[in-house]
Copies of this chain bind each other. A is one copy, B any other.
Amino acid sequence: MCCGGRCCVSMTQCFFDYSTSKVLVIRSKSVGTLNRFCQAVVLAYIIGYVCVLKKGYQDTDTVISSVTTKVKGIALTNTSDLGLRIWDVADYVIPPQEENSFFVLTNLNITPNQTQTRCAENPGPGSTCTSGRDCKRGFHDSRQNGVQTGRCIQFSVTEKTCEVLAWCPLEKGNDPPERNILPHVNSSYLSQCVFNRTTDPDCPIFRLGDIASEAGEDFQTMAVHGGVMGVQILWDCNLDMPESWCMPTYTFRRLDNKDPDNNVAPGYNIRFAKYYKNGGKESRNLVKGYGIRFEIMVFGKAGKFNIVPTLLNIGAGLALLGLVCRAFWILKLYD
């Protein structure tokens, strides 16, 4: 790049030398056209693709977010075990708050008035017995609900099972009841906008039923076994534009596996208990609550003009595609 061998003669003189390549100019319409075409492709790639489409002139950063949510609405159920019952936010949102997420109880298996005592284990391998010899004091299998006492007692008129120390009576059955609950939970008393993909895509107030339909799911069906629903908030901002153009877009998708063949535990449920004390004796109501867990996921990026990525992209593009063009011409010229 500098002066070379005679540099030693005079550093000062050499310092001010400027060397440039000798060039050969070829005057040919066909060669020239191809040359310009090649240069046009290079420019189109750099300007059109790298700069405009991929915004290669911007430095990008990801999103740091914090989301708060609020659920509104009541529901009425009428079941044999609970009777007529009103459900409000304090009843069906468990726990009362979470970060970036909330859980709405939509179905339940309740086991009321459990106390720590002894009762017959649910029948099954390891618990069905004919006499005390089949039961082992202190034995515990995690398929069972308690620790065996060593006695064999009547579970029903026809069946005998090992007695266990557990929260009794035990929770029964596995199938969530097919109920038609929460018809109103998706109504909102807000006088403001409600999200609608077509008419109101920027509104941050959602009807739960709309979230499910947007994801191609049926709310009533999903409510029976529960599920996990993702609320994806995408911020894709160009900070070279006015800040008010930087708006989130909302999409929804079901996150849990609903393929019944490939899934040991379909749906989503949690077990929790309410504890009571009556005259010093503790009891609890155990609830296996089925519900929809809404996970709010914020992602995206924001880009702003920055000289480093601009020069990086343009420089690398020119260098490479200059080489490509030159190589192409060398092949062409020697044809």
Contact = CB atoms under 8 A, between A and B. Distances in A.
Contacts of A241: none
B5 A32 contact: no
A329 B20 contact: yes
A209 B89 CA distance: 31
Given A17-B32, A68-B293, A97 B99 contact: no
A86 interface: yes
Given A66-B297, A70-B265, A96-B271, A21 B18 contact: no
A86 B21 contact: no
Interface stretch (A128-136, A152-160, A210-218, A274-282): A274-282
Interface in A293-335: 293, 295, 297, 299, 307-308, 311-321, 323, 326-327, 329-330, 333-334
Contact of A18 (B144, B275, B320, B329): B329
Contacts of A321: 311, 315
Interface in A64-123: 64, 66, 68, 70, 72-74, 76, 84-86, 88-91, 94-101, 103, 116
For chain A, give the interface size range. Answer: 35 or more
A33 B16 contact: yes
A285 to B, nearest CB: 8
A245 interface: no
A27 B7 CA distance: 13
Interface in A1-49: 1, 3-5, 13, 15-29, 31-33, 35-36, 45, 49
A143 interface: yes
A4 B299 CA distance: 51
Contact of A326 (B20, B26, B29, B313): B20
30 contacts: A13-B27, A15-B36, A16-B28, A18-B26, A18-B28, A21-B22, A54-B308, A62-B62, A66-B295, A68-B228, A70-B265, A73-B142, A74-B145, A74-B166, A76-B140, A76-B165, A86-B147, A86-B166, A88-B271, A90-B286, A91-B273, A94-B96, A95-B96, A95-B97, A97-B98, A98-B99, A141-B189, A142-B189, A276-B276, A311-B316
Q: What 3 A-B pairs come out closest when comparing CB atoms? A: A16-B32, A315-B320, A319-B319
